[in-house]
Amino acid sequence: MKILLVEDDTALAQGLAGALREAGLLVEVAGDGRSADFLVSTERYDAVVLDLGLPDGNGSQWLAGWRARGIDLPVLILTARERWSDKAAGFSAGADDYVTKPFETAEILFRLRALVRRAHGHAHPVITVGDIALDTHAGQVTRSGMPVSLTAQEFRLLSRLIHAAPRIVSRTELSEHVYDGDQEPDSNVIDVQVSRLRRKLGADVIETVRGQGYRMRGGGEPA
Ligand code: CA
């Protein structure tokens, strides 16, 4: 899961980004609306955490601009403000959820996971494909009920495939959601990770679709 955190309070941004990274998420940070605007236009994220009070305008106004341009990713608003009118403006601008400062990091994490899951059409926190179950709330994977231990990168890769199932996911898309922007993985790194996942989960779990990418097997027919 790759998140853009838009927050001008450096200490708060670093603290929250650190905690989310520890939970296995990829996090990029933008300190103002303009940088966030550039990033959401040029990179792919699973969700945005957006502070309302930014140095170059209100977060709601930036969000309204993204929605007007068809950028439809889930947005969680962070606001220090208790006033209902601020939250209302956020929702009118296209926010999906909000958290009021001060907040528990765990709450942000749970809400993000729920937003991303729902954005992919999954209402339940446990997404099942064949005999593989991804618990998006606990961040755990089981096969036939038995826990499988994965590295953070393996988890992000599998999570992307499972959220997208039965769609085929390209190597580029996987790479964007598994690695930080400043790490430029070799094209075969994804293949190596997939091989590791197959060793841990079973050889038949992830299907290679020649020239297109990978998809989960047992995820039903493509829509
Ligand atoms: Ca602020």
126-216: CATH number: 1.10.10.10
Cα 54 to ligand 1 centroid, rounded to whole Å: 5
Cα 30 to ligand 1 centroid, rounded to whole Å: 11
CATH 3.40.50.2300, domain 2-119, yes or no: yes
Cα 70 to ligand 1 centroid, rounded to whole Å: 25
Question: Tens of pLDDT along 191-213?
Answer: 999 999 999 999 999 999 999 99
Q: How far apart are CA 127 and CA 144, in angstroms?
A: 13
- Residue 205 DSSP SS3: coil
pLDDT value at residue 223: 41
Task: Answer yes or no: are the C-beta atoms of 40 and 4 closer than 8 Å.
Answer: yes
Question: Tens of pLDDT along 152-205?
Answer: 889 999 999 999 999 999 998 898 888 876 666 676 888 999 999 999 999 999
| Mean pLDDT, the chain, integer | 90
Q: How far apart are CA 87 and CA 85, in angstroms?
A: 6
> Structural domain boundaries of the chain?
2-119, 126-216
Cα 79 to ligand 1 centroid, rounded to whole Å: 8
Residue 221 has pLDDT above 60, yes or no: no
Query: What does residue 154 show for φ and ψ, rounded to 5 degrees?
Result: -60, -40
Residues near ion ligand 1 (Cβ under 5 Å): 8, 51, 53
Cα 39 to ligand 1 centroid, rounded to whole Å: 18
Cα 80 to ligand 1 centroid, rounded to whole Å: 8
Instruction: Using pLDDT thresholds of 50, 70 and 90, give the confidence band for residue 120.
Output: confident
DSSP state of 169: B
pLDDT value at residue 220: 56
Cα 94 to ligand 1 centroid, rounded to whole Å: 19
CA separation, residue 124 to residues 22, 101, 108, 129 (Å):
24, 27, 18, 13
Task: Answer yes or no: are the C-beta atoms of 97 and 117 closer than 8 Å.
Answer: no
Cα 51 to ligand 1 centroid, rounded to whole Å: 6
Does residue 166 have a cis bond before it (omega within 30 degrees)? yes
What is the mean pLDDT of the segment spanning 29-47? 96
Q: How far apart are CA 47 and CA 73, in angstroms?
A: 6
Cα 167 to ligand 1 centroid, rounded to whole Å: 38
The model carries a pTM of 0.80
Cα 114 to ligand 1 centroid, rounded to whole Å: 24
Cα 6 to ligand 1 centroid, rounded to whole Å: 9
Cα 120 to ligand 1 centroid, rounded to whole Å: 29
Ranges assigned E (strand) in the chain? 2-6, 26-30, 47-51, 53-54, 57-58, 75-79, 97-100, 126-129, 132-135, 140-143, 146-148, 206-209, 213-216
Cα 28 to ligand 1 centroid, rounded to whole Å: 16
Cα 112 to ligand 1 centroid, rounded to whole Å: 19
Q: How far apart are CA 1 and CA 159, in angstroms?
A: 8
